[in-house]
Chain A
Amino acid sequence: MSTDTNTVTALPMRPVVADVLREAADADPRLVVLGADGQALAAGVRERYPERYIDVGIAEANLVGVASGLARAGRRVVVCAMAPFLVRRAAEQIRNDVANPGLDVTFVGVGGGLSYGTLGPTHHCPEDLGFFSALPHTRVYCPADVVDAAWAVRQALAVPGPAYVRLGARADRVVHAPDERFDAGTGLLMRPPGRALAVAAGAGVGIALDAADRLAGPGHTLGVLALTAVTPFPQERVRELAAGVDAVVVVEEHLASSGLGAATALALAGQWHGAFAAHSVHTGYPPIGDREELLAHYRITAGDVAASVLDAVRGPGAGARR
């Protein structure tokens, strides 16, 4: 298991997802891929089936409207775009024209969260998971690395109806074994909980694992539940794991108010008593920084998470629920 003191491997998700999409196009002749002046994810499909890749240009609203029409014509549609522009420019088309009627459209958003770093706040998208989670019929995935990114896209396509998969913009740290098996209903328990549990997704998974390494030892072992499928949220599973701990922390590259922070709190409210902390993005305007610097700005780091857990388990209220 890698830690923040060891060498970590980081790989971009895009080439892997491009391969997954090509395989999906091989298997389903009705699959088409749409892009908005960005072809990296469609590279494999475009090469093999040029007529099944359509670049609509820099026009996200039309991108999604056309996807809706193609889906109504019986096509399985994959929409690839930069997450910030997809979510904010085409919000109404995504909701009215795809999600409401429950069409077979998989959205793949590149650069969710803070992963565009120094390109600045125009390119940050810490609200994408919350936006898609607010839509009817829609499944939402936030993979951490290339391994669960491939699984998430396959899973999104395997089930009828709309889905969103958030991908990182650059290289993402590999946290999963290549042959790891995922389950949309339960998440992946990567560390068993002691007195504390971390609920994490995306880049938050590696950060939570690092925090767990820092805390390894008697008394305050941090469990890590990694959620690649964030919506539907596995409420029961979270309640079950939280039942035995004093503290729950959320680690996510997303706004807490519409992300894992809110979902976890809703799952536990009234049914669990303990310390809770969300290491999430907030609405404060960020400084210029790369992804690591931005995560540090929002206190989404292994050190901050470990400190939260220690405060919680040593604090005056710790153990009170027993």
Chain B
Amino acid sequence: MTPVAAERPDRALAAVSTGARRRLLDLAASRGVHLGASLSVIDILVGVYDLTGFAPDRPSGHRGDRVILSKGHSVWALYSVLAEFGVAGLDDPRAGHPVEGTPGVTAATGALGHGLSIGAGLALGARLDGTAQRSVVVLGDGELDEGSVWEAAMFAAHHRLANLVAVVDRNGLQQEGHTESILSLEPLDAKWASFGWRVLEADGHDHAALRTALRTALDGQDGRPTVVVARTVKGRGVSLMEGDARYHYVQLTPEEHAAATRALVGTGQGAA
């Protein structure tokens, strides 16, 4: 178990990521899980929960921050990361999407396109109350097909919700194939910028780069909401699954589990 203190060194975060991936593969050996999209978002979740100062007895961190995993099908990554951060009782979770009551879970998600609106409402509430609380919403790139995301994006920019951060897990794949072949998202940075957001880019598997971007996003100094477009690889960390859409939703056979565990590679030094 990793000792809990905000802003661990990058090496420690890389170890958390690897431990979480190992847990994730173990979960995937006993049930069907959304594996590819969980592997791509693990480093993002490690970075986000670390920066907010998450601890099992302090799920909203130092400032009452609220994290929403809007791409709820990646809940397996969330269980694995929270377990690495010391949350007990997540060795055999049953719910295939986040449910309220799990430490660190702000809202039950799974139907896509809901999280950013909820995060915007929380951010607006914090501003009305004059508190320092921030909202971080982790979105999938396929999720950006949902129109409600862009309703929320317009709303957040209009109200200048500088205490709202979106992180897009830009792994380039959705259930049936490449995002650009199903419904083009590019130019994605320009889309967010044109909606009035500050846009930061980061390698979503490089803890140092992620931390720099997330810290900037969370500083609230810009007067606008901030999106971090995190370039990731679906299946990242298990070399034989990387970029392979077949691992979107799977249960691993004992042989696959053994091979995947052997193929587990350390992340944290970037996607390349």
Contacts and interface: CB of A to CB of B under 8 A. Distances in A.
Interface of A: 32, 51-52, 54, 56-57, 59, 61-62, 64-75, 92-93, 96-97, 100-101
A97 B107 contact: yes
A135 B126 CA distance: 28
A75 B114 contact: no
- For B107, B117, B147, the residue with the greatest tally of chain A CB atoms inside 10 Å of its CB is B117
Contacts of B106: 72
A208 to B, nearest CB: 40
A71 B152 CA distance: 17
B124 A68 contact: no
A52 B155 CA distance: 16
Contacts of A73: 121-122, 124-126, 128-129, 133
Given A66-B152, A72-B106, A73-B121, 10 more contacts: A65-B117, A65-B148, A68-B121, A70-B125, A72-B121, A73-B133, A96-B108, A97-B107, A101-B100, A101-B107
Interface of B: 66, 100, 106-108, 110-111, 113-114, 116-126, 128-129, 133, 135, 147-148, 151-152, 154-155, 158-159
Nearest to B122: A69
B147 to A, nearest CB: 7
Contacts of A92: 111, 114
Contacts of A56: 155
A74 B133 CA distance: 13
A69 B151 contact: no
Contact of A69 (B120, B154, B158): B120
Contact of A70 (B121, B133, B158): B121
B122 A96 contact: no
A69 B123 contact: yes
A96 B114 contact: yes
A130 B253 CA distance: 45
Given A75-B125, A96-B108, A100-B108, A69 B118 contact: yes
Given A61-B117, A65-B114, A70 B152 contact: no
Contacts of B129: 73-74
A74 B114 CA distance: 19
B148 A57 contact: no
- For B108, B125, B152, B158, the residue with the greatest tally of chain A CB atoms inside 10 Å of its CB is B125
A121 to B, nearest CB: 23
Contact of A72 (B107, B152, B155, B159): B107
Contacts of B117: 61-62, 64-66, 68-69, 93, 97
Nearest to A101: B100
- For A56, A64, A65, A92, the residue with the greatest tally of chain B CB atoms inside 10 Å of its CB is A65
Closest 3 CB pairs of A and B: A69-B121, A65-B117, A73-B125
B123 to A, nearest CB: 7
Given A65-B117, A101-B108, A72 B151 contact: no
A188 B6 CA distance: 59
Contacts of B124: 54, 66, 69-70, 73
